[in-house]
Amino acid sequence: MRAHLGDELVVESLIIGSRRRDGVIVGLHHADGSPPYDVRWSDTGRVTLFSPGPDAHIHPLKPPEDPSEPGTEPQPPPPGSDFGRRVAHERQRLGLSRAEVADRAGVAESYLAYLEQQPADPASATVLSLAAALETTPDVLRGADAELAPGGGRAARHPRLRELEPEECLRLLSSHGVGRLALSTLEGPQIIPVNYALVDDTVVYRTAPGTVTAGAVGNLAAFQVDHIDEAMSRGWSVLVVGPARHVTGPAADELAARAPSLPWVGGDRPLWVAIKPLRISGRRIDVE
């Protein structure tokens, strides 16, 4: 018997009247995939070491359907879980493929695909391995810090603050999708988070007429993006200052094609706003 991580293990009892049991193989003890296995059982959610007998069968993890096959329609990805979405997000943030992350973490690529695409609750050892491979923490992958304000940790022993060159600022801006728009209104200064994209060297976002963010048009605005690595007490921030203008006509159509920004608030957001930097600056805290 041979198995891979993510395969389904089914035990059909030889005793009449006894129930069938199934689970997912979450751990291998031999490189060739031979028993025993760590199995997370569907009826209890617990992981146990299991040596299959003659009543056990392996059902391989099915790969995603190839939409290029004749007669098949492209299918949306499975809903997955919060854990899987966070793993996929961190992997994409680092620009790594599934194969690269799987190799770093010492898990099968098929099992990593399973974690990203299916509701799953992997063992603590797997979470630790994935967190190390993705240069983050188990709490981040499990979402334990989702409601916590960043920056509550201690400062590093030897922090170093340095200014960023404009080229690095643009590179960092292009790596994110949410920033903060600062502008003056009749009620005073306001700072609003918005989804955005960077097109060439210009920050663009979508909004609706009559909203606070639409009020930036024709005025000088500031736009700020940052990233904090809580575990390592380091991070960076980039600030763009420039006039905000309304983009219309063919230029708006081109933006829609090049920067398909989808505001999280939903609804119809037909107005494109562009902020061309007059000044761009950034700072980074590193650890010596």
How many C-beta atoms lie closer than 10 Å to residue 19's C-beta? 9
Q: Which H or E element spans position 224?
A: strand 220-229
pLDDT at 239: 95
How confident is the prediction along the chain (288 residues), in pLDDT tens digits per residue?
A: 788 777 888 887 655 445 578 888 877 777 778 888 888 777 776 778 888 888 888 887 655 444 444 444 444 444 456 888 889 888 888 889 999 998 998 888 888 888 888 877 777 778 888 988 998 888 778 876 555 555 555 555 667 788 999 999 998 888 778 899 998 888 888 999 998 988 888 899 988 888 888 889 989 999 999 887 765 667 889 999 999 999 888 888 877 777 666 666 666 778 889 999 999 999 988 766
Tokens for 28, please give them: 């291998």
Distance CA 58, CA 105 (A): 24
Judged on CB neighbours under 10 Å (0-12, 13-18, 19+), 223 is buried
Q: How many angstroms separate the first and last alpha carbons of the chain?
A: 51
pLDDT at 81: 65
